[in-house]
């Protein structure tokens, strides 16, 4: 046997071992809902989006039911800058006047949502884009007068998502909601993902962002935690180790697992196939939060 043949066989064996490792997880999560929040910070470029899309399609192909919820904060900020409009943040939330709301809707619904749907649909007629405004999916109310048209989730009506999932489709949700009078609000995507996971009683809630996971020391990647319970995460939150953009993710993880979601995960979306590695391998690649 030549060295080339030996190397080829070795690589083939490694691939087979990976498939065997994935098999029990595929069987365990068959027909289970997985809500994936794809953050604007994880959308580093077309290559990363293409990898994410292929991961979501593979999950659907082996029997899982993925629902994608996306943000777009960096993209909104970029367009605001190009238009010469300044951005103010209060308590980590973008102050949103009527003009900023129009820009946010345009970016989230008209650009980011379309890009994700198109990337998924390169693999087949699978993805359907919608926003929280569609079929009264997300009912919202104003977060505070100081934040303008920033909303909180009052209720999620999952009927449209359930219909799409029953048709073996992949919903892709932009995080704009409306109140009873039809007024639109821009809502934090982390919060929306958690609320949708609760409404669907999802098996998993996954946040793809630009950090490795939850850290005991926010400044030290070496302190990333692999697994912890909701109570342990609550205690960590109380120490002040979790700050800024990680706070709404952690809060949503805590609420979700205490409301019936199986597990919540925070992963680095810049790692190729992070979603598959976390769901279908024994070790995973990020932080998993259990009840």
pLDDT, tens digit (0-9, with 9 covering 90-100), for 262-288: 999 999 888 889 999 999 987 778 999
**% helix / strand / coil in the chain, to the nearest 5?**
45, 25, 30
Let me know how long the chain is: 291
| The two structure tokens encoding residue 213 | 């996971």
Domain residues for 85? 32-290
If one counts the domains in the chain, the total is 1
The answer to whether residue 7 sits within a structural domain is no
Sign, CA dihedral 209-210-212-215, equals negative
Strand ranges, E, within 81-192? 89-90, 93-94, 127-131, 138-142, 150-156, 170-174, 176-178, 184-187
The Cα angle at residue 269 between residues 151 and 22, in degrees rounded to 5: 120
Q: What pLDDT shows up at residue 4?
A: 62
pLDDT at 10: 64
C-alpha separations of 75 from 29, 44, 103, 265 in Å: 33, 11, 10, 24
pLDDT, residue 42, reads 64
Give a yes or no: residue 202 inside a domain: yes
pLDDT digits (tens), the chain, 291 positions: 565 666 566 676 677 777 888 899 999 999 999 999 997 666 666 788 999 999 999 999 999 999 999 989 999 999 999 999 988 888 878 999 999 999 999 999 999 999 999 999 999 999 999 999 999 999 999 999 999 999 999 999 999 999 999 999 999 999 999 999 999 999 999 999 999 999 999 999 999 988 889 998 888 888 999 999 999 999 998 888 887 778 888 999 999 999 999 999 999 888 889 999 999 987 778 999 999
10 in a structural domain:
no
pLDDT at 243: 78
pLDDT for 212 equals 87
**At 266, is the secondary structure helix, strand, or coil?**
strand
Within a domain: residue 1? no
Q: Is the residue at 19 inside a domain?
A: no
In a domain, 212, yes or no: yes
What local confidence, expressed as pLDDT, does residue 6 receive? 61
Burial 219-250 (b: 16+ CB within 10 A, else e): eeeeebbeebebeebeebbeeebbeebbebbb
pLDDT for residue 271: 86
- DSSP secondary structure code for residue 173 in this structure: E
Q: Both tokens of residue 240? A: 């002040």
What pTM, to 2 d.p., does this model score?
Answer: 0.93
- The CA-to-CA distance between both ends of the chain, in Å, stands at 52
Which residue from 186, 174, 177 is spatially nearest to 97, judged by alpha carbons?
Answer: 186
Q: Are 85 and 76 in contact, with CB atoms under 8 Å apart?
A: no
H/E element, 37: strand 33-38
Q: Is residue 12 part of a domain?
A: no
CATH of the domain at 185: 3.40.1160.10
Q: Do the domain assignments include residue 135?
A: yes
């Amino acid at each position: 046997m030549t060295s080339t043949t030996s190397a080829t066989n070795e690589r083939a064996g490694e691939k087979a071992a990976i498939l065997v490792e994935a098999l029990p997880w595929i069987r365990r999560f068959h027909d289970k809902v997985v809500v994936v929040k794809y953050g604007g910070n994880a959308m580093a470029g077309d290559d990363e989006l293409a990898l994410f899309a292929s991961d979501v399609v593979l999950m659907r192909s082996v029997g899982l039911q993925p629902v994608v919820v996306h943000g777009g904060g960096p993209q909104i900020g970029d367009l605001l800058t190009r238009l010469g409009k300044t951005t103010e943040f209060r308590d980590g939330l973008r102050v949103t006047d009527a003009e900023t709301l129009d820009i946010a809707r345009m970016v989230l619904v008209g650009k980011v949502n379309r890009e994700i749907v198109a990337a998924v649909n390169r693999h087949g007629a699978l993805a359907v884009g919608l926003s929280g405004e569609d079929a009264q999916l997300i009912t919202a109310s104003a977060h505070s007068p100081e934040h303008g048209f920033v909303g909180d989730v009052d209720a999620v009506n999952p009927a449209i998502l359930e219909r799409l999932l029953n048709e073996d489709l992949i919903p892709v949700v932009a995080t704009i909601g409306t109140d009873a009078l039809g007024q639109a609000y821009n809502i934090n995507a982390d919060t929306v993902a958690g609320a949708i996971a609760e409404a669907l009683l999802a098996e998993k809630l996954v946040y793809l962002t630009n950090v490795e996971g939850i850290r005991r020391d926010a400044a030290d990647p070496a302190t990333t935690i692999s697994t912890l319970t909701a109570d342990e995460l609550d205690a960590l939150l109380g120490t002040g180790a979790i700050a800024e953009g990680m706070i709404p993710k952690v809060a949503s993880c805590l609420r979700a697992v205490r409301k019936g979601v199986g597990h919540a995960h925070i992963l680095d979306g810049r790692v190729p196939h992070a979603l598959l590695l976390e769901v279908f391998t024994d070790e995973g690649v990020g932080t998993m939060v259990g009840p």
